[in-house]
Structure 1
């Protein structure tokens, strides 16, 4: 299972800091999270989603040793 880590507002909307997921592609993971957690789904399109530290296409397969980070936009200066 892929390890998904949520940061800042994404963690608040997900109701957790991390979890293991069994979806096979990044797109399937995004879809499942949006359906299961509408609050997270509302901000997910604005979030940076990194697979092992890199931005990848939704068709990218995610396996058991993968870390997916979901980072909402951060403000600052």
Structure 2
């Protein structure tokens, strides 16, 4: 399952999605295809599994919960 937050959810048009992709790179590609602003926003997002940031080369296993977080500003 993929959970999207803030600008990522808005750009993709969903708060949660189910995906069957095998890598973080392919997940980014899939998400980027879901809206006009999605490519720009998703490219800037951090993808995390169990609180750890994933590289684009990381493999995703069935049942993984991935959080897609856009950059945050403020303090």
The verdict on a shared fold, with TM-score over 0.5 as the criterion, is: yes
Distance in structure 1 (CA, Å) of the matches to 2:34 and 2:11: 11
Structure 1 stretches of 4+ moved >6 Å: none
More strand by share: 1
Q: Give aligned pairs, total.
A: 75
List runs of 5+ in structure 1 lacking aligned partners. none
Measured against aligned partners, the alpha-carbon deviations of 1:25-56 in whole angstroms (never above 9, x if no partner) come to: 11111112213334221111211111222112
**How large is the RMSD of aligned CA atoms in angstroms?**
1.3
The answer to whether the Cα contact below 8 Å between 2:13 and 2:34 also exists between their aligned partners in 1 is no
Match of 2:49 among 47, 51, 74: 51
Per the alignment, residue 34 of structure 1 pairs with: 32
Residue 13, structure 1, aligned to residue 11, structure 2: yes
Residue 67, structure 1, aligned to residue 28, structure 2: no
TM-score by length of 2: 0.86
